[in-house]
A and B are shown apart, each in its own frame.
Chain A
Amino acid sequence: MPDYQIVVCGSVVPDPLQTLEPVSGPTGPALKNEMMLPAWLDPWAGHALYEAAHLASHNPGSKVWLVALGPKAKLQQVMMTLAQKAPFELIALDGSASGFTDATETAGAIAEAIQAIPGIDRTRLLVFGGWESASRGAGATMQIVGELLGITDQFQGVDGVGIGVDGSLRILERIEGGRHQVSICEAPPVVLGWATGDLPEPRNNPQVGMANMRTIMPALQKAKPTKVGAEGVKFLSVSLPKQARDTKIVKDLTPDQIAAEIVEWIANK
């Protein structure tokens, strides 16, 4: 049974239920009160982490690392919860997790951190991450990380991975029309940008949390200051959409009348 080295790339994003408002910062656009907003692990990166932990648990000898770039204080806040979800070793990079930074700079920092993992073995390496972030939403970082690591077996929008008896990887990627493309990759190394996969969020496990925290706190303490920005990008504006519609509220029609209206509306081209 193969033993993998699974490196998950993931950062923190503001809680999506918070009101977000853009402001102009000294280096470009930013979020109003960004450091006050509660944060959580980027959702698709979260799925990648849970899938990584699941795969590792079924392949003894495998290990999961989480490479996370974000403000140290935010990372610490998120790790308090995340540590209980799945076993992993944190590699923290202390820098901006803003959606307005450039994927190239983020990817460069992450790839460097992966290459610096002691004993990293390309023949066992699976690089996981979200197929897009919930901040920049570009779907770019994982591709560039792969390029920097020299990995051209890359798959995006992944919803499943299986291991063949010959050690090959069977990968399901989302494509248009609610379908999946099935690809076979001979062996690691690969880059998988995860969509939602098919695993629910793991329940909190205090024992896993305690084990993780032994390495998380030292990792946070030695988090490398990492400068990422958006060199060469000029933001002309960042604004909230003006989206309010003048909603007509219909309260006094019977189901028959409403149905007739809807059917007529659907039929009108």
Chain B
Amino acid sequence: METILFLSPTEAGLPLLINALEALATAKQLANSLGTSFSIGLWGADPKTAANGIASCGAEKIFVVTGEEFAHPLYATDSAAAAALCRAAGATIVMGPAGSRWNRILAGVAHRLGGRADSHVTGLSVSEGTPAIARWYYRQRMEGILSRAQRPWLLAVESGIAPAWQGAPGTAAVEAVPCILSGVRSKVSGIESPEADQQTIRPDAELLFVTGAGWTKKQPDGQVKITEAETRILDFLRLSRASLGSTKSLVDLHGDGQAILPFLTHMNQVGQTGSTPRHPKGLATCCHGEEPHTVGWRFIGERRAISLDPNCGWARGKADVLYVADAFAVMEKVNGLLAQKAGV
């Protein structure tokens, strides 16, 4: 009989985020499929609000590790808290929301507990009483479905694979778990983020706007129009509130020290060595990547592309609609219409 634990860090005074609620729903579904119950483990400076927010989810127990020392995401403190919670629950399968905080400690905690870990889990199933997961290999180019004999089995569940758990908040009965720290030599000193008006990565945006190296190439009049490209792209992001993605070739130009689109960094890159963002819609412009570099598209719902090349790897067979057109001209018009709608 499996013992399932949903495990998540918390922010003091805040309910769980949607990706955690999705992982909770996945854990609950797995418990149902296996005909067993599930418990919850939460840690942070004050997990009370988070626990109360999911009080009615049907968990058998809610374990918490509480303390100011667990407020910030650090390997040393987070791994100690997570390991203590797993031990307290006697968990054989532990599921948490994929994200920088859980992914940072997942495998280390599994090792400490004598178990195994799998990240980037995109599906869960049960066959003849045995749970199996789906995850990607070789940078999203092939999907494997696997089960493991070792326990505990720690999983990082990707967002978007299940609807978030919804239910009424309440007053959770929590069981405090002691966690003694020693030898912590690191501390979080802050967060560096771009100015609000320069923030181009918006994980919650409805639309992913992907820019390709075509924006930096010579245009039909033989001129390179970097300034115009910058204006078109930034205007669109401001008006649409889209998140900005980039092809590898475009951010690599930046890394080579060439003066191009200064707001693009490797963090914008989608694809093989970049991120695989999840947005309901995606619009690719001036992208000319070969097939392997387009894997960043895989988790985008509706996809459209603007390209002068009808055989572009980002478009044919990958997008729902391909507009064979000059993105400079189209995006100027798009921005005009969006500005008109916004009354600016």
Give the B-binding residues of A (Cβ under 8 A).
Answer: 13-14, 16-18, 20, 22, 29, 31, 43-44, 99-100, 102-104, 107, 134-141, 143-144, 146-148, 152-157, 159, 170, 172-187, 195-196, 198-201, 232-241, 243-251, 253, 255-256, 258-263, 265-266, 269
Contacts and interface: CB of A to CB of B under 8 A. Distances in A.
9 contacts: A152-B184, A156-B103, A173-B104, A178-B193, A239-B143, A250-B321, A251-B324, A259-B337, A261-B323
B138 A134 contact: yes
Given A137-B136, A179-B192, A234 B146 contact: yes
Interface stretch (B33-41, B54-62, B164-172, B198-206): B198-206
Interface of B: 73-76, 79, 99-101, 103-108, 110-112, 116-120, 127, 132, 136-150, 183-194, 199-203, 206-207, 240, 255-257, 266-269, 272-273, 281, 283, 290, 292-293, 298, 302-304, 306, 310, 315-326, 329-334, 336-338, 341
Chain B interface secondary structure, helix, strand, loop or mixed? mixed
A55 B201 CA distance: 29
B336 A134 contact: no
B73 A181 contact: yes
A137 B320 contact: no
Contacts of A20: 138, 141-142
Nearest to A180: B192
Contact of A241 (B73, B142, B330): B142
Given A180-B191, A247-B317, A237 B145 contact: yes
B323 A177 contact: no
A258 B306 contact: yes
Nearest to A186: B185
A262 B290 contact: no
B37 to A, nearest CB: 25
Given A147-B111, A243-B298, A177 B203 contact: yes
Contact of A255 (B137, B310, B325): B325
B331 to A, nearest CB: 8
B333 A255 contact: yes
A258 B138 contact: no
A266 B116 contact: no
A238 B103 contact: no
Nearest to A238: B144
Given A156-B103, A178-B199, A179-B193, A249 B267 contact: no
B148 A234 contact: yes
A247 B108 contact: no
Nearest to B325: A258
A13 B332 CA distance: 41
Nearest to B77: A152
A245 B74 contact: no
A260 to B, nearest CB: 7
Contacts of B321: 247-248, 250
Contacts of A157: 100, 104
Nearest to B104: A156
Nearest to A154: B75
Given A137-B139, A247-B318, A255 B330 contact: yes
A265 B281 contact: yes
Contacts of B190: 181-182
Given A183-B188, A196-B266, A233-B148, 16 more contacts: A102-B116, A137-B137, A148-B111, A152-B75, A152-B184, A178-B201, A181-B188, A181-B190, A186-B185, A199-B255, A236-B147, A247-B317, A259-B331, A262-B330, A266-B207, A266-B283
A18 to B, nearest CB: 8
Given A240-B142, A250-B324, A255 B337 contact: no
Contact of A134 (B272, B283, B304): B272
Given A17-B292, A20-B141, A184 B319 contact: no
Contacts of A176: 99-100, 203
Given A176-B203, A255-B329, A258-B306, A154 B108 contact: yes
B111 A104 contact: yes
Contacts of A246: 320
